Amino acid sequence: MRSFWEYDALTRADVIIIGAGIMGVSTAISVKERLPKARVLVLERGILPSGASTRNAGFACFGSLTEILSDIQKNGEAATVRLVEQRWRGLQMLRQRVGDTAIGFEQHGGYETLFAEQLPAIDSLERVNTALRDIFASENTAAQNVFSVQNGRIAEFGFNQNRVKALLYSPFEGQIHSGRMMQALTELAVQRGVRILTGADVLAVYEEPTQIRCVVRHLGNTTSSSTVDFVSDQCVVATNAFTQELLPESRIKPARGQILVTTPIHNLPFRGVFHYDEGFYYFRNLATPEGQRILLGGGRNLAFEEETSSELSLNPRIQAALEELLRTTIAPNLQYDIEHQWSGIMGFREDKLPEVRRISARSSIAFGCNGMGVALASVLGEEAASLLV
């Protein structure tokens, strides 16, 4: 039972977006850019976004050589080049929207560590550089290759040279502070007039002849009613890994990712974002007021089935494997402890391509950044907004 005031003003919108991760909030901003007068309401089930956007590694990246080669094998060269182009464009859009300072952007470049088994990838370096050249040409760095071999830095960075056999470098990758990025993006959305309600768990979405009706769990007063209906003309579902809860037929699965962060490390010898093994592992320096730390994540490929989960818990087996990789290969000569450990839930589609499309007269979906939402969400949000009538 809603009051007149709730009915008339608080539970109505022109556009409802479900999910306040980077995709939902970016979509909301784009809707306001396109339709400034539209009442835009974002419904988020967590007090904080509760999937991937505030639990990721903060790479402002577009894909390492081995990941791009794997994508080419899966989807062909044209589709892969288009995806890299979208990621690159999305990164520029995010930076322009909120500003580098607000998101803690630093450009130390990106690297890929190759172990013996990945060395054959170098044979395809020239081909991939040629395929991607035009995307980065506007950077006035036409002379620079997207990827180049920089083996001299393996020793300089202190890696175990018995394991790391080659190092690839890309000048175009950077890193962000994901918490500050989501805060800045949310503030921008609110400045533009978007309303964001947290603690709003959407239990079901009904498309009725004249409106969309979102049924939201009501925790405020359980004695009178346990749900509240929010209504709108149109709706965008941006719930990523959790989408099957609302739309069981959607083709996206949860993929949990594990992360650890060390204590500050004296004289950490490297800066930048580092990929390993088709992006299944990733590490970076993390600048904090107390000093430089290492953030390391990944290992999902050690337990694909267990990690097809939307439960935000740690997998001790994967965390142990990450610690071993750190101790034996990445930082064999450094002193540190593990200070933070967490997991986050990505949404993966079989073909690793994102999905933005209208699913009915009044509803669209926008999801499937497949582990690269920092880069992709701004352009996909813009695409989702363009579907609204």
Ligand X SMILES: Cc1cc2nc3c(=O)[nH]c(=O)nc-3n(C[C@H](O)[C@H](O)[C@H](O)COP(=O)(O)OP(=O)(O)OC[C@H]3O[C@@H](n4cnc5c(N)ncnc54)[C@H](O)[C@@H]3O)c2cc1C
Residue located via tokens 């959790």? 242
Candidates 160-168, 286-294, 325-333, 340-348 — which segment interacts with ligand X by CB under 6 A? Answer: 340-348
User: Which of 13, 16, 17, 23 is in the footprint of ligand X by CB under 6 A?
Assistant: 23
User: Which of 56, 80, 250, 364 is in the footprint of ligand X by CB under 6 A?
Assistant: 56
| Per CB under 6 A, 299 contacts ligand X | no
| Per CB under 6 A, 94 contacts ligand X | no
CB neighbours of 79 closer than 8 A, spacing ≥ 6? 71, 353
User: Which of 13, 20, 167, 331 is in the footprint of ligand X by CB under 6 A?
Assistant: 20
User: Which of 240, 285, 319, 364 is in the footprint of ligand X by CB under 6 A?
Assistant: 240
Q: Name the residue nearer to ligand X (CB basis): 46 or 332.
A: 46
| Per CB under 6 A, 259 contacts ligand X | yes
**Count of positions (residues) in the chain:** 389
- Count Cβ atoms within 10 A of the Cβ of residue 176 and give its class: 0-12 exposed, 13-18 middle, 19 or more buried: buried
Other beta carbons less than 10 A from residue 48's beta carbon: 12
| Per CB under 6 A, 257 contacts ligand X | yes
In whole angstroms, the minimum distance from the beta carbon of 331 to ligand X comes to 19
Binding mask 142-181 for ligand X (x = CB under 6 A): ----------------------------------------
Per-residue exposure over 126-160, b if at least 16 CB sit within 10 Å of its own CB, e if not: eebbebbeebbeeeeeeebbbbeebeeebeebbbb
Tokens of 216: 């939201």
What are the two backbone dihedrals, phi and then psi, of residue 169, each rounded to the nearest 5 degrees?
A: -125, 140
| Per CB under 6 A, 371 contacts ligand X | yes
Candidates 102-110, 124-132, 146-154, 237-245 — which segment interacts with ligand X by CB under 6 A? Answer: 237-245
Q: Rounded to an integer, what is the distance from CA 317 to the centroid of its chain?
A: 24
In whole angstroms, the minimum distance from the beta carbon of 342 to ligand X comes to 8
How far is 153 from 155, CA to CA, in rounded Å? 5
User: Which of 201, 229, 307, 382 is in the footprint of ligand X by CB under 6 A?
Assistant: 201
How far separated are the first and last CA of the chain, in Å rounded? 31
Residue located via tokens 């022109």? 14
Helix 373-386 vs helix 77-98: crossing angle, to nearest 10: 90
Q: Judge whether 382 and 93 are in contact, CB under 8 Å.
A: yes
Q: Name the residue nearer to ligand X (CB basis): 104 or 257.
A: 257
Q: Name the residue nearer to ligand X (CB basis): 122 or 338.
A: 338
| Per CB under 6 A, 24 contacts ligand X | yes
Contact footprint for ligand X (CB under 6 A) = 18-24, 43-46, 49-53, 55-59, 61, 200-202, 238-242, 245-246, 257, 259, 297, 344-346, 367, 369, 371-375, 377
